Amino acid sequence: MVHLPKEKLLVEADVYTPPAPNAPAATTVNATWVSLADNIKRLNLSVDQILALHGRMVPLVELHRGIRH
């Protein structure tokens, strides 16, 4: 995982894979995604977007949508 503060970008490989656009919401909460969101906040990282190397670049809000029910 790499944080690029100037670009407000978090690059990661295996923690978060964004669902396909317009995919139905998950029926369970992914604990790894919750941990990622918690750590971004705890470390006070300036993140606008996440670049998932096994997915696509998405705004941080996509992660938060994926962990809310």
Could you read off the pLDDT of 29-67 as tens digits, one per residue? 999 999 999 999 999 999 999 999 988 999 999 999 999
The order of strands in the sheet holding 49-52 is: 2-4, 9-12, 49-52, 57-59
Is the confidence at residue 68, as pLDDT, over 90? no
Neighbours of 6 (CB within 10 A): 6
Phi, psi of 58 (to 5 degrees): -140, 155
Three-state DSSP at 55 gives coil
pLDDT at 10 over 60: yes
